[in-house]
């Protein structure tokens, strides 16, 4: 994949707040972010707050170019699923993107490849864009089977959807060993996996956006974004600091 091809894809930066924030802190953070991201840009920015703050965040983003996203979703549209939220509900709140398959959901909530595939379908059926997360553990990396693991996670979704629907999806590579640890995959490691993922979708190789998620910071963002197959970032802690977040968004721009 050439630099010229990369230039055709609009960069995307997604801020995943995880289980952080409150009304006062969120309002202060978003005021800074919205003020710092005025005008037209070459990259897209999405904020994914916790569920209780979706409406509040939506109101604070009104009139800005920043889009609203959600951190997860249930695969079913309605029913006796206490505590769950459906994709159609998220669409009602004007969400545009939904993170699915995040490594924390897979590890802590036991979400399987099969469940993630069904979530992917539900999100697209509601007219939203799934951000499908895949990634390997430290053990997978050390044993040299990281690409096999990522291929399995992708194929679980391909088996349910085919590959054509990925023209309306985003992929995110999260090396589990680098998420929240301060460690970052080397540019060579990240590029290898992104190139592998893009090769799984040859007909969409010039269109599909693939994000890197794993301790992206302002000091390393520009180097990562310069790689031909990296189209932005999925951020955790860095999205909770307005200056850091805006610096990363600017690096993508």
Residue 174 annotated among the catalytic residues of the structure: yes
Residue 244 annotated among the catalytic residues of the structure: no
Measured CA to CA, the distance from residue 162 to residue 120 in angstroms comes to 12
Maximum C-alpha span of the chain: 49
Give which of 238, 175, 234 is closest to 33, Cα–Cα. Answer: 238
- Dihedral, CA of residue 155, residue 157, residue 162 and residue 163, to nearest 10: -80
44-to-129, 169, 182, 203, 212 alpha-carbon distances in Å: 13, 14, 25, 23, 15
Catalytic residue of the set 102, 118, 146, 194: 102
Catalytic residue of the set 104, 111, 174, 191: 174
DSSP helix/strand/coil, 83: coil
Residues noted as catalytic: 102, 174
């Amino acid at each position: 994949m050439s630099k010229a091809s990369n230039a055709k894809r609009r960069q995307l930066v997604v801020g995943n707040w995880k289980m952080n924030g409150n009304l006062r802190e969120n309002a202060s953070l978003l005021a800074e972010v919205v003020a710092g991201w005025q005008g037209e840009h070459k990259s897209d920015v999405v904020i994914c707050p916790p569920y209780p703050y979706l409406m509040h965040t939506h109101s604070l983003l009104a009139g800005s170019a920043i889009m609203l996203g959600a951190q997860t979703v249930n695969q079913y549209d309605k029913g006796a699923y206490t505590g769950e939220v459906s994709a159609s509900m998220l669409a009602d709140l004007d969400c545009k993107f939904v993170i699915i398959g995040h490594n924390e959901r897979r590890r802590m909530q036991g979400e399987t490849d099969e469940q993630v595939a069904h979530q992917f379908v539900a999100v697209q059926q509601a007219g939203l864009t799934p951000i499908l997360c895949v990634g390997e553990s430290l053990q997978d990396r050390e044993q040299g089977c990281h690409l096999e693991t990522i291929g399995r996670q992708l194929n679980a979704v391909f088996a349910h959807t085919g590959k054509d629907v990925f023209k309306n999806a985003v992929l995110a590579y999260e090396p589990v060993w680098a998420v929240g640890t301060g460690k970052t995959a080397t540019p060579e490691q990240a590029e290898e996996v992104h190139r592998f993922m893009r090769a799984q979708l040859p007909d969409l190789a010039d269109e599909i956006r693939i994000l890197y998620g794993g301790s992206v910071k302002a000091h390393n963002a520009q180097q990562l974004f310069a790689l031909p197959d990296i189209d932005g970032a999925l951020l955790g802690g860095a999205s909770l600091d307005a200056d850091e977040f805006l610096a990363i968004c600017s690096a993508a721009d």
